[in-house]
Structure 1
């Protein structure tokens, strides 16, 4: 009788282990499905290809956060405007979840739609801010929107609570953009966003990025920006491609184990066949 009793206990234990194993397998499959869904959502939210602009080369890089579902609110975008100029945006919606990713998609599309109608970058951000406030949500977003004139190299930029961009020239100068900017989108009704103008020289490069690129547990944001400036400066002097710059900047973010998504958009003024332009970032 004792032998049968232990056998029964063993059978019960095996049954419980089998049940736990099946639950763990179902949980793993569900988690894998969620991650695959999140990645698919992220791919659909970001542009599938970059525009071709004579005299300029564009490159992007994206690294998901080290935690979570690998989906968040960071985005980049580049597109040709009706007047032939190049529209550029980069931004970061507060949060790291499906809701943030969905709002990111809405803001990116809204900026494209508003830009196609016309208006300078500051006006576009103000309209997008009003739109975001009208939705009545609780999330906000930081963003930079730019227009680049390929014929002159003139860059018009407006910033909504976002990080400055990094620039470098072929003659060895580099730094971060200096402009006042305005508050993040979705916080202050009637907010204004001043426009600052720059000029991208031949062989020059500028780098738009999100805070996951330059900030982490072991990397203060000022040090991260300095690191990005150094990388851009070396790349411009060496004549490296925007793809190489984007890859180097994103690798720097991954090395410090960033806890947020990291997005990079690089624009290089190609010397080959590029129109002349006066000095300046």
Structure 2
């Protein structure tokens, strides 16, 4: 009995056919935009040839700009080259080449070069304009969701606020928090990445994702050390950040605060109305290996409030840091007396430098 390959079963054969059909449809769908845009560009050239007095050859910019938005990085350079050729043909089809016509052609050549350079830069991402933007926005939103304030037991109130120096949602300051119900423990970290606004935004996005994974996964006393090791491994040119980490046990109100080169947390005692600066020390993240971080401990009693913030809240041009802290505490005193809800948002809007990112977290025990 001869041994041969087992013939494919009908199920496998059908699956293979469906797979090949799916790949074919995908390739066709991928080619449709470039075919449509090329046809549109050729239609413009034909219109210029037939009606040179009425059809503007600058209309070739329409398919060019559309191509920059929808074509993938592999297709776009070849499409731009073809548009350059069509611009040349359309220019030669003009009855008279005036300085105005030549100037319009030069502008189109420059536009083609700009789109071509953009295509090569975009090739690092590997996706087209709309797709790349939507992917990046989705990534940003997923990471920012890690900074959402978790729900706490009814006798606790927690809120945060963040304002970017650039006015966008990309900032060098960020907050990441998690609540571990089994341990009745809140953990959060306030981070200020080197730089500000959009310049620091990409590093902040990466760090917020990494720190979000660490919170609750490593012991509170090891969080800043682990975060420091992570930054050192990145080997960034400006890869340092300040941070302050809070671990709060909501059943007892006891807390631990550790700082990495960050402005200190402040505690307001409801009974006396007195503010206490919780000093803790440690090296800035990403500068020194094997850094150690001291701990400030305390307890939040009913009515007490704890505030964590970034340096943008207390630093202003030509203003001493201590004066900035005194001003913030004075403003916070009035806001907390009037009501805790919304106090973080009002503080970041009222205080600090408009040229720096600003973040504030308020923890209150009712």
Distance 1:41 1:250 in 2: 26
Q: CA deviation at 1:247?
A: 2.2
- Offset of residue 51 of structure 1: 1.3
Unaligned runs of 5+ in 1: 1-7, 27-32, 271-281
Mean Cα deviation higher: 100-109 or 223-232 = 100-109
Q: Does 1:135 align with 2:234?
A: yes
Q: Give the one of 342, 347, 355 matched to 1:249.
A: 347
TM-score, normalised on structure 2? Answer: 0.59
Q: Which of the numbers 152, 162, 171 marks the counterpart of 1:72?
A: 171
SS at match of 1:65: coil
Kept in 2, the 8 Å contact 1:86–1:148? The answer is: yes
1:83 Cα deviation from its structure 2 partner: 1.8
SS of 1:177's partner is: strand
- Cα–Cα, structure 1 residues 214 and 79, in superposed 2: closer, same or farther, change >3 Å? same
Q: For the Cα contact (< 8 Å) 1:167–1:229, is it kept in 2? A: no
- Decide which structure has greater helix share: 2
3-state SS of paired residue (2:278): coil
Deviations 1:83-124 (A, max 9, x none): 220011101110136563233233333333333234133x21
Q: Is the 8 A contact 1:205 1:232 kept in 2?
A: no
Task: Find 2:152's aligned residue among 53, 60, 77.
Answer: 53
Structure 2: runs of 5 or more not aligned = 1-97, 116-129
Please report how far the alpha carbon of residue 251 of structure 1 lies from its aligned counterpart in structure 2 after TM superposition: 1.6
Secondary structure of 1:116's match? coil
Q: CA deviation at 1:136?
A: 1.8
Alignment CA distance shift 1:152-1:179 (3 Å): same
Q: Does 1:180 align with 2:280?
A: yes
- Aligned residue for 1:111, secondary structure, equals helix
Q: Distance in 1 between matches of 2:173 and 2:136?
A: 13
Match status 1:234 vs 2:334: yes
RMSD: 3.6
Alignment partner for residue 322 of structure 2, among 205, 217, 222? 222
Distance 1:226 1:144 in 2: 20
Within the candidate set 219, 223, 245, 1:119 is matched to 219
Pairing of 1:11-90 with structure 2 (within 5 A): 43-47=141-145, 49-54=148-153, 55-66=155-166, 71-81=170-180, 82-90=182-190
Mapped to 2, the partners of 1:265 and 1:176 lie a distance apart of: 16
Whether the 8 Å contact between 2:148 and 2:176 is mirrored in structure 1 is: no
Task: Name the CA shift for 1:114/1:259 in 2 (closer, same or farther; >3 Å).
Answer: same
Question: Structure 1 residue 15: deviation in Å?
Answer: 5.5
Q: What is the distance in 1 between the residues matched to 2:302 and 2:258? A: 23
Gap change, CA 1:104 and 1:269, over 3 Å in 2: same
Structure 2 distance, partners of 1:170, 1:155, is 17
Indicate how the Cα distance of structure 1 residues 182 and 87 shifts in structure 2: closer, same or farther if over 3 A, else same.
Answer: same
Aligned length: 252
